[in-house]
């Protein structure tokens, strides 16, 4: 087995609304087990949930190394889920508690990675930084489906609302992968309190810096504090093999916040069958969008920084023989924040279908999503240039130029369209609805205008309007073939011709 060197940090952050640190971590290097759990729910429920996970994993992996490591990890996650769900059902002040989990297990020349929620595992080696996990969150599903942009996802007010968690339902399915490792491989396991403030580029720079794992963890904490540290933050860095580290002054070691079991773990609760259409994962209290939060000592919001993501695991290993279990389901892949809008609303089959949108009480044909997605961006050079300036980080200039264009032409659908998208990205959802409605009335063929409008409606709580739009999108049926003309009409028997 390779030599393992690790460092860890956990901190409650700077947000005065977060009185406790609901993150928890576990490191058992002699067993090759490293874990981060981010609790959610209630005044103390999140803390109890994350501690429960660490306690159970600690008991299981303090024993002999299991032969089937992957199966034991999966079974232990199931045990954690049953324990947390059962206590949340029977203890009043723990109702709604749940937790994320991200596990790294080193076994010889392979690593097993399992996760539920939005805590992440990154790998760093000669190929660079690769994100091995996909967030189980509403916003990430919309992003993967192409329904929102990276820019919108980075500042979406629901970006931290997870749709899969330990203890939220009677059963949970973790995503589990296995990868080959060597003595040049490193890992980062972290909660979303880290990735909220630290870009993938900054993570990659630290991972290749030659610094010791504990120094990298300290640097991650510093970056979070520089950005305001809005959430609890936890990170574990693990280096595989021997390294020649850069010598630098070390800080006092912070004891990891882990739990030593004080009593035997109770047997699993009985399985409870529930109607999943009537339940959803608990939502955590969301802070304001990051774009509106100034760093300490600043009076204005920090300038916009795009966050190009590290390559995802499924992109980096396409065509390889590595195994993956429990990936994103097709249902979730093609849903538009369905938990928040309408249970069971499926939009996976709407691409290429006609869409009808309700505008001012008068249905208007919009065309098809497929044709819209293939259209070029609006063609006014000044308007396109103004929006480009916004995306480059010159936000005030971009908005000012679009407002000037709108002053010159109050009926400019393109100007309303881009101002609506800017308002949405910056959390001005009422203004976004107004601009996008005006854009849709003036030019219903703008790219994906109905989807932008539906998401803006959802963000201001007008679920009925958002639902009506999406129900009409989903409910629009594909054209049916016209019955074959009779042979007497001049057609050959059995022929038919679809309409359109």
Nearest to 430 by CA among 399, 468, 406, 460: 460
Residue 363 belongs to domain spanning:
349-475
DSSP-based three-state secondary structure for 452: helix
Residue 426: give its domain's CATH number.
Answer: 1.25.40.10
Q: Can you give the pLDDT at residue 191?
A: 98
251 and 377 share a domain?
A: no
384 and 417 Cβ atoms separated by less than 8 Å: no
d(CA 227, CA 383): 32
DSSP-based three-state secondary structure for 125: strand
Strand ranges in 360-422 using DSSP code E only, listed in sequence order: 362-368
d(CA 13, CA 225): 7
CA 319 to chain centre: 25
Asked whether residue 183 is assigned to any structural domain, the reply reads: yes
The token pair at 291 is 């774009």
Asked whether residue 394 is assigned to any structural domain, the reply reads: yes
Q: Can you give the pLDDT at residue 313?
A: 54
295 and 378 share a domain?
A: no
* 439 membership: H or E segment, kind and range: helix 429-442
104 CB burial (10 A radius; 0-12, 13-18, 19+): buried
Question: Would the CA dihedral through 328, 332, 337, 341 be positive or negative?
Answer: negative
**Torsion on CA atoms 160, 164, 166, 172, rounded to nearest 10:** -170
436 and 468 share a domain?
A: yes
Residue 185 contacts by C-beta under 8 Å, 6 or more apart in sequence? 111, 123, 124, 125, 240, 241
The token pair at 255 is 């004891």
d(CA 182, CA 86): 40
* DSSP-assigned letter for residue 306: -
Q: How do strand 23-28 and strand 33-40 relate by DSSP bridges? A: antiparallel
Distances in whole angstroms, Cα of residue 32 to Cα of each of 61, 121, 287, 366: 9, 15, 35, 55
Q: What are phi and psi of 188, to 5 degrees?
A: -125, 125
Asked whether residue 340 is assigned to any structural domain, the reply reads: no
91 and 137 share a domain?
A: yes
358 and 262 share a domain?
A: no
147 and 270 share a domain?
A: yes
Asked whether residue 489 is assigned to any structural domain, the reply reads: no
DSSP-based three-state secondary structure for 116: strand
* Number of domains into which the chain is organized: 2
Nearest to 347 by CA among 314, 373, 371, 369: 369
d(CA 228, CA 34): 27
Where among 330, 364, 396 does a domain terminate? 330
Asked whether residue 253 is assigned to any structural domain, the reply reads: yes
The series of mean pLDDT values per 10 residues for the chain, 500 residues long, is: 94 92 97 97 88 97 86 97 96 94 97 98 97 94 89 84 95 97 98 96 97 97 95 98 85 50 36 29 34 36 41 47 34 40 36 30 33 46 86 83 87 92 86 90 86 85 80 50 40 37
119 and 213 share a domain?
A: yes
Q: Can you give the pLDDT at residue 107?
A: 95
439 and 313 share a domain?
A: no
Residue 344 contacts by C-beta under 8 Å, 6 or more apart in sequence? 277, 338
Share of the chain residues as helix, strand and coil, in percent rounded to the nearest 5: 35, 20, 45
Q: Is 352 left (phi over 0), alpha (psi -120 to 50) or beta?
A: left
Asked whether residue 25 is assigned to any structural domain, the reply reads: yes
Where among 299, 330, 361 does a domain terminate? 330
287 and 416 share a domain?
A: no
Question: Would the CA dihedral through 54, 60, 62, 65 be positive or negative?
Answer: negative
465 and 409 share a domain?
A: yes
Residue 322 contacts by C-beta under 8 Å, 6 or more apart in sequence? 177, 178, 179, 180
Nearest to 417 by CA among 389, 393, 452, 386: 452
Asked whether residue 492 is assigned to any structural domain, the reply reads: no
Q: Can you give the pLDDT at residue 349?
A: 33
Nearest to 433 by CA among 421, 445, 446: 421
Asked whether residue 404 is assigned to any structural domain, the reply reads: yes
437 and 326 share a domain?
A: no
Q: Can you give the pLDDT at residue 262?
A: 36
Residue 296: give its domain's CATH number.
Answer: 3.60.40.10
Residue where the block lists tokens 């330990």: 166
Q: What are phi and psi of 461, to 5 degrees?
A: 85, 5
289 and 190 share a domain?
A: yes
């Amino acid at each position: 087995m390779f030599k393992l060197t690790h460092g860890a940090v956990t901190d409650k952050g700077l947000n005065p609304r977060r009185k406790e640190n609901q993150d928890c971590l576990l490191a058992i290097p002699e067993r090759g087990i490293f874990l981060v759990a981010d609790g959610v729910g209630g005044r103390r429920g999140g803390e109890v949930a994350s501690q429960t996970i660490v306690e159970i994993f600690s008991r299981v992996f303090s024993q002999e190394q299991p032969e089937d490591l992957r199966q034991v990890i999966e079974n232990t996650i199931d045990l954690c889920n049953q324990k947390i769900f059962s206590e949340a059902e029977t203890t009043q002040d723990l109702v709604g508690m749940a937790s994320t989990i991200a596990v790294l297990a080193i076994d010889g020349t392979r690593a097993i990675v399992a996760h539920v929620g939005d805590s992440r595992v990154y790998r760093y080696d000669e190929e660079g930084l690769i994100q091995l996990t996909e967030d189980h969150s509403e916003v990430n599903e919309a992003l993967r489906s192409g329904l929102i942009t990276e820019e919108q996802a980075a500042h979406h007010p629901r970006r931290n609302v997870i749709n899969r968690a330990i203890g939220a339902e009677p059963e949970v399915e973790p995503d589990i992968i296995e990868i080959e490792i060597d003595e040049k491989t490193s890992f980062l396991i972290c909660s979303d309190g880290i990735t909220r403030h630290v870009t993938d580029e900054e993570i990659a720079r630290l991972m290749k810096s030659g610094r010791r794992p504990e120094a990298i963890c300290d640097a991650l904490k510093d970056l979070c504090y520089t950005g305001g540290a809005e959430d609890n933050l936890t990170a574990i860095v693990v280096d595989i093999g021997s390294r020649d580290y850069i010598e630098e002054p070390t800080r006092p070691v912070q004891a990891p916040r882990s739990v030593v079991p004080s009593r035997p773990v109770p047997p699993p609760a009985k399985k409870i069958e529930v109607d999943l259409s009537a339940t959803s994962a608990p939502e955590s209290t969301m802070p304001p969008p990051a774009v509106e939060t100034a760093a300490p000592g600043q009076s204005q919001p920090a300038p916009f920084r795009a966050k190009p993501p590290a390559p995802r695991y499924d992109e980096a290993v396409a065509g390889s023989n590595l195994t993956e279990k429990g990936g994103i389901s097709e249902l979730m892949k093609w849903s538009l924040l369905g938990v928040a809008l309408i249970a069971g609303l499926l939009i996976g089959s709407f691409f290429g279908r006609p869409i009808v949108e309700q505008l001012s009480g008068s249905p208007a044909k919009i065309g098809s999503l497929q044709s819209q997605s293939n259209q070029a961006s609006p063609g006014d050079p000044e308007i396109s240039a103004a929006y480009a300036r916004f995306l480059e980080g010159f936000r005030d200039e971009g908005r000012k130029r679009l407002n000037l264009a709108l002053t010159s032409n109050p009926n400019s659908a393109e100007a309303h369209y881009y101002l609506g998208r800017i308002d949405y990205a910056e959390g001005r959802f009422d203004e976004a609805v107004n601009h996008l409605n005006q854009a849709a009335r003036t030019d219903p063929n703008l790219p994906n205008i109905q989807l932008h409008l539906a998401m803006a409606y959802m963000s201001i709580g007008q679920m009925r309007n958002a639902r009506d739009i999406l129900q009409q999108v989903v409910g629009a049926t594909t054209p049916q073939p016209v019955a074959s003309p009779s042979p007497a009409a001049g057609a050959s028997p059995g022929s038919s011709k679809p309409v359109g």
